[in-house]
Amino acid sequence: MSALDDMALSDEALEAWMAAKTNPRPLVRTMSALDGFVTAAVTGPRFADPQDWMCPLMGLPRDVLAKGSATDHAVFASLARIHNRINETLFDRPHDYAPRFATKPSGGIDPRPWCQGFYAAINLNIKRWKRLLDLKNPNHGLLLPILIYCVDKKGRPVLGKPR
């Protein structure tokens, strides 16, 4: 176990913190959405500095490492732990990666929170994702299984009305 793991919150405590945090609120509220966001941050266009996505994602101030509370540091450590786990899995053992989908009350999987988290990461770094979002780009189709489950800020399907 690393010092990062020692400082990090449990997944349950982190999810409770995300659900309760306000002013500013995190961009995601569940572990499934957080997993989707971090997956996009790991696999998509790079941010210049990890704090460029980590701080807005969790609603933390940019200077959280220098001036944050013990809880802020624990949240940041939790996020770093999740990032490292996803990064290591995708790059060292990609066949072991599985999205952390939510579970429906009926027991089935619900991909929507994970996909919405991924989409939140796209929106935070939209200029760098533009090329992949271009319908003329042959790689655009790779995002369709994710975007089909996403809605915009007004609750409208990102890909438009179902046909």
pLDDT digits (tens, 9 = 90+) for 115-157: 999 999 999 999 999 999 998 999 999 999 999 999 999 999 9
**Percent of the chain at pLDDT exceeding 70:** 97
**pLDDT (average), residues 75-83:** 95
- CB contact set of 72 (below 8 Å; sequence gap of 6+): 60, 61, 64
pLDDT at 25: 93
Contact 31, 14 (CB under 8 A): yes
Phi/psi-derived region of residue 20, left when phi > 0, alpha when psi is between -120 and 50, beta in every other case: alpha
| CA nearest to 40, candidates 128, 103, 104 | 128
| CA nearest to 116, candidates 2, 29, 1 | 29
- Given a cut of 90, whether residue 43 has pLDDT beyond it is yes
Helix 51-58 and helix 31-43, axial crossing angle in degrees, nearest 10: 160
- Given a cut of 70, whether residue 74 has pLDDT beyond it is yes
pTM here is 0.93
pLDDT at 163: 67
Split at pLDDT 50, 70, 90, the class of 48 is confident
pLDDT at 6: 84
pLDDT at 1: 58
Q: Look-up: residue for tokens 């929170």?
A: 113
Residue of higher predicted confidence among 2 and 62: 62
Strands of the chain, DSSP E: 102-103, 109-110
**Residue 53 CB coordination number (10 Å):** 24
